[in-house]
Amino acid sequence: MRVGIMSFAHVHAEGFVGNLRAAPGVELVGFSDDDAERGARFAEAFGLRHLARHEDLIAEGVDAVVVCAENARRRELVEMAAAAGVHVLCEKPIEATLADAEAMRDACEAAGVTFMTAFPMRFDASVRAVKAALERGELGALVAVNGINHSEIPKAHRAWFADRELAGGGAVMDHTVHLTDLLRWMTGSEVVEVYAEVGNPFYPGEVDVDTAGLVTLTFANGVFAAVDCSWSRPTSYPRWGHLKMELIGERGGLSVDAFSQALTGFARSLPRNPTWIGWGADPNQAMIEAFLAAAAEGREPPVTWNDGYEALRVALACYDSAAAGQPVRLTRD
């Protein structure tokens, strides 16, 4: 299968290079990026072919693409790929507005191509163990979840993350989607109410987007969840960020730290000192291979467009709730 990466705007594009090169039966054709400086930098860093126009990458006859553009620029790339019959793995949040996300769905359905949302944490071994424990009924009925998703502010690496027009928001937009997706997946239920306090306590005066949010989610089945999402980690922190959950059931509790499998490294050659070097399985590799298999076999991917859409709905509802100062109900037809 011939695969390309559309844009290196998102930080995850760098990791996907290794994932695609390691995937069996894949030819990584190259990447497209209309930012000449960024394209030249990453072409040299990875020894990867850079095409200056996204149309040129599609013209190479790729079978699938990984879309890693800025949040608000993903629709145009997804529609371009779909029109050429190319399957799409799309970074999350899948877009910055619901209307653009719906247009992406329509384009892929009309073209009959696979669209998968890039939620790698569904493929993390520790998270999957938690889901299996819930399915076995080890905790009894799930009652509540406390979730944490923190990182450093991405603006030093990718300034657009703190650009409201390109990102659609700040830390809440960036981090709420992960835990929302995991909780929907684990509970098998949809979010029906969102309440959020959103602010910029960490970089006031430096960015005009939120850098932290405290969010509560109520699910249709009665499960209550809290999400602490922020860009609170300093740049000196040993790791980019983390994702944790504490689950409380009728018969017990369970905690998971998805990135705890790490060695502490000290070396001048490392980007951070000290650095936590992960030694566990790579969920991105499993996600990439699941996408490629679904595309090749013409079946529904394990993470769908709707999963990305519902997570985006919750992220946007957080901003609506914060602006109104009250809970927001999510209705469905």
Is pLDDT of 157 > 80? no
pLDDT band at 333 (very low <50, low <70, confident <90, very high): confident
The reported pTM is 0.95
How far apart (Å, rounded) are the C-alpha atoms in residues 213 and 228? 6
pLDDT tens, position by position, 112-149: 999 999 999 999 999 999 999 999 999 999 999 999 99
pLDDT tens, position by position, 197-209: 999 999 999 999 9
**SS3 for 48?**
coil
Helix intervals (H) in 23-170: 36-46, 54-59, 74-83, 98-111, 125-135, 164-167
Please give the pLDDT value at position 289.
Answer: 98
pLDDT band at 156 (very low <50, low <70, confident <90, very high): low
- Who has greater pLDDT, 261 or 37? 37
Domains 2-113 and 121-281+303-329 share a fold: no
Domain boundaries of the chain, sorted by first residue: 2-113, 121-281+303-329
Q: What mean pLDDT comes out for the span 251-264?
A: 91
Is pLDDT of 155 > 80? no
Q: Which CATH class is domain 2-113?
A: alpha beta
Quickly name the fold that domain 121-281+303-329 has. Answer: Dihydrodipicolinate Reductase; domain 2 (3.30.360)
Q: What mean pLDDT comes out for the span 219-231?
A: 97
Is pLDDT of 263 > 90? no
pLDDT tens, position by position, 69-118: 999 999 999 999 999 999 999 999 999 999 999 999 999 999 999 999 99
